[in-house]
Amino acid sequence: MNINDYDFAGKKAIVRVDFNVPLQDGKITDDTRIKGALPTLKLILQKGGALIIMSHMGKPKGKVKAELSLSQIKDAVASALGVPEVKFAPDCAKADAEAAALKAGEVLLLENLRFYPEEEGKPVGIDKADPAYEEAKKAMKASQKEFAKKLASYADCWVMDAFGTAHRKHASTAVIADYFDKDNRMLGLLMEKEVQAVDNVLNNIKRPFVAIMGGSKVSSKIGIIENLLGKVDKLILCGGMTYTFSKAHGGEIGQSIVEMDKLDVALGVEELAKKNGVELVLGTDCTATDGLDFATLSVKPGAKITTCMSNQIPADMEGVDAGPESREAFKNAIKGAKTILWNGPAGVFECDEFTAGSRAIGEAIAEATAEGAFSLIGGGDSVACVNKFGLADKVSYISTGGGALLEAIEGKVLPGVAAVQA
């Protein structure tokens, strides 16, 4: 069912959103995910429906943790929605009374779904190596169905609008679909936009197609990289994974992050790029320091900061950002692109001293977008980059999903989408 065609009048809609927002002293520091869900939530209210909102926050692993309670964001959600009040159910699995009392135009927020292990459907307190694990897993799957059934019982229809968790087969993102017929389950407006954005990048490609993959590890993105090498014209690899590639060619990388067991994988990526006729762009120089404090993401007093080649980093230093030569190469590779995908920063952008590489990429993407490119930015760090640099309104689309976006790009079926369309 298409959400725009659905008659919500007099009905209760339970909507899975991704309100896993960052908090500091109980205050939201980035409300991007709440803003992303507003079109769907407001549409349901405007059409005369009652709204039951469900989400997770953090990783409580099946335990109640006050610091991860969604009660902290209740008032912010009410303000964003423009309603006088958002009611709150302190137990998502025992919200029968609150749901039954809900009237058209009213909003109920359920407590953190992951306070129940049934949401994720993983056995807790038992190791996978334990002989009893498989039996525990089977029992948990049965409990997960009951949990999903309970959530479904609160409403007349289910809307899946949490792209950030669409790659997980959780009770609220997929299993719940079993308790609604096809006419009463649908994708939300945000999900529809996300799915369309991925389709634009993977199946409706305007060339040249340039992808930028950053981050610390080759291993976490090898599936995506291999899939992209069959689609893109140029692939920029930056961030911490740069040093695994440097090391694979015998470079001196000092204290830089490296995956010694993935050197052959790095060389394999280079071979596949060559085989597919893809221009592979790797950083040749970097900004290095001997004083990055990863705990506070700051530079220690008296630290040395220098520019050097990525394969000639001093023994006591580590590469933390792209150097001027690399930044120029990245900008030149992006110039003239018609389809752009960016996932992962070029350095430790959280430190103002090491933003230059990520900023250069972001600004080059903004320029290409202004000249007609379709640009998709995905993954928490990349989104944080464009927000930090004031470029959010200068790109085509910012995805709210990190892992979900990557799995979609990798060509995997997302359970949260499949459950709606089944």
What lies within 8 Å, CB to CB, of 26 at 6+ separation is: 72
Pairing mode, strands 234-237 and 279-282: parallel
Residues forming the active site: 33, 217, 380, 403
Q: Under a CB-based contact definition with an 8 Å cutoff, are residues 185 and 160 in contact?
A: yes
Place of tokens 């679909």: 177
